Amino acid sequence: MGKNNTRESLTREIASVVLHHIVREHTNRPESVHFLESETIEYRNKAEKMSQIYNWNSEDRVYVEKKALKLIIEKLANKYPDIKYKEQEAVDKISKIIKDIM
């Protein structure tokens, strides 16, 4: 896989980490919490491994942040319309993950 394909995959993984984290925090089904925690850990591990393949410049980081936010907003609107969250919450979580792993 080239760097652009890896960047797209990494973006999806980061979006999945943040999405599952937001859903876990706002779910009204306590039986889902453990599953969502497990998914968050799994996606984060995959993102960490993927991020170590290449060196990422600031343009890559900005691209990943914007694209991941777009994916999260779309997924929450389509699949989880009942979850209310602040967009800034998602931005903060994305920024933290990018800072930690890229």
pLDDT in tens, 13-31: 999 999 999 999 988 888 8
Amino acid identity, residue 5? N
Give the per-residue pLDDT at 20. 95
* Domain ranges, residue 84: 3-101
Tally of structural domains, the chain: 1
Q: What is the mean pLDDT of residues 1-24?
A: 94
pLDDT in tens, 40-99: 999 999 999 999 999 999 999 999 999 999 999 999 999 988 888 899 999 999 999 999
Amino acid identity, residue 70? K
> Which two three-digit tokens encode residue 26?
């706002």
- Reported pTM: 0.92
Give the per-residue pLDDT at 28. 84
d(CA 8, CA 25) in angstroms, rounded, equals 26
